[in-house]
Amino acid sequence: MLLKKRIKFFIYFLVIALAIPACNLCDRTGLDDSDSGLDTLSRLEQIIKRDTLIAITDYNSTNYFIYRGTPMGYQYERARELADHLRVELKVITENNIDSAIQILKQGTGDLIAMDLTINFSRRKQIDFIDPHYQTRQMLVQRKPKGWRNMRTYDQVEKHLIRSPIQLIGKTVHVQKNTVYVSRLKNLMEEMGDSIHIVQVDHDTEELIKRVANGDIKYTVADEHIAKVNLRYYPDIDTRTALSFPQNVAWAVKPGNDTLRRTINDWQQSFKGSYYANVLHNKYFKNPRSKRIFHSAYYSLNDLRLSEYDEIIKEEAKELGWDWRLLASMIYQESQFSENARSWAGAYGIMQMMPQTMRRFSIDSSSSIKEQINAGIEYIKWLDHQFKDKIEDPEERKKFILASYNVGLAHVMDAMRLAEKYGKDPTKWNENVAYYLRQKSKPEFYQDSVVRYGYARGEEPFKYVNQIYERYQHYQNIID
């Protein structure tokens, strides 16, 4: 933890030093990235100090979703790369309404809108755009004629489809409320001198595409990359008619966050040409496996399920008094919901219990999933009992329980004694007991007089707890 802090401290001063030559007078006087006075920190400083980048993105089939318990998505992974570059954690806020996302940004609750925002004058008045990361066009989404597969020629299909915007005169088009699609259709009416019936709805673009595919509505509008992705899922739609010229799309920050904006631009410039950027684009926009994911029962846009064992996990979590999504995140961390998982250390099953612990709770490799999870819950209850008199806060206590499940109760107790000896709070996890558990791999700490159980690879339980809670946050974002 101390090394990580020093690295962040160095990076912070390096970023600021590099930004100074390009700063304007507002930057030099300390008003950059803030709304009030010289004493406030810049937005970039706030991100580094709090150790977290807060990104606002939309929940859909490409940007952010959960598949088999794993958070995924193009914008999510790009934002995670940026957070890694800044050496901070990533927190995601989901918001599918663009106006609401802009308000969250302007209120200061989020640092960055990580969506494909079309750049226009109206939005420039409210937000500052990052340099564009690509271009897109607005495409008409319409349904192919019934029986199109059996038509003899392509021309027979074409005569049923709109291929020129002027053919939209008198037609009804459903679009997401307050989006650039509304303004584009209004501009088309002005250009054509006639009317299009625009119906603005609260549904997001992908829901409207689904409704076109199902025949519930006739037309909607979508950005080209979104339309192409959905064409793989709904082969009965057509997405070849452009309604706009190519337009720049970009992320955005709050006006005045200049140091943050420049830092993201610099990162994006280097990321664009990287091998991983290409892999990421292909993964979400060209991956033939995406159709299989789309139809999976464990794809969060189809069903809010994490695994086939959700009902058992919910039942056991209720018995434990935990949010079932936290327990599910822990089980994913242990086994990725695999009932036959085995570790190099000999841990077995969905709860990854060691043989001696399995014997203690009367289970073996022939035990059912329900029996395995129940044994894990009984072990967690036992750990909770060990900490109950020492740690009053039940939410704080959960972190100690999780760490103990991973590394053993004895090593966590050692870290608590070290924390108390060196003036830290033995009842707090972050920056206190977690720090000293990580130090138990160093002789000067594991040989300390208050340490009873010697060496431990404390980095493992530290990451274990962090990763469970990070995944839990994603589950909270998406799973009710």
Task: Give the active site residues.
Answer: 334
Are the CB atoms for 145 and 165 separated by under 8 Å? no
Compute the C-alpha angle 8/10/14, nearest 5°: 115
Are the CB atoms for 33 and 70 separated by under 8 Å? no
Where does 346-393 have alpha helices with state H?
355-360, 369-388
CA distance 257 to 128: 8
Token representation of residue 207: 């829901």
Q: Are strands 237-242 and 219-223 parallel, antiparallel or unpaired?
A: unpaired
Closest CA to 141 of 245, 214, 37, 38: 214
Strand ranges inside 187-298, DSSP E: 197-201, 219-223, 237-242, 247-253
Cα dist. 461→32, 83, 406, 418 in Å? 39, 22, 6, 16
Token representation of residue 365: 């490799």
- Would you call 28 exposed, middle or buried from its count of C-beta atoms within 10 A (0-12, 13-18, 19+)? exposed
Q: How many other CB atoms are there within 10 angstroms of residue 195's CB atom?
A: 11
Closest CA to 456 of 412, 397, 423, 418: 412
Closest CA to 61 of 337, 310, 292: 292
- Would you call 227 exposed, middle or buried from its count of C-beta atoms within 10 A (0-12, 13-18, 19+)? buried
Strand ranges inside 95-229, DSSP E: 112-118, 128-129, 134-136, 138-143, 172-176, 197-201, 219-223
CA distance 337 to 309: 8
Q: How many residues does the chain have?
A: 480
Closest CA to 105 of 123, 121, 90: 123
CA distance 233 to 227: 10
CA distance 130 to 261: 6
Q: Give the distance between the most distant pair of CA atoms in the chain.
A: 86
- Residue 402's φ and ψ, nearest 5 degrees, are -60, -45
The 3-state DSSP class for residue 439 equals helix
For the beta sheet containing 138-143, the strands, ordered from the edge strand earlier in sequence to the opposite edge, are 219-223, 138-143, 237-242
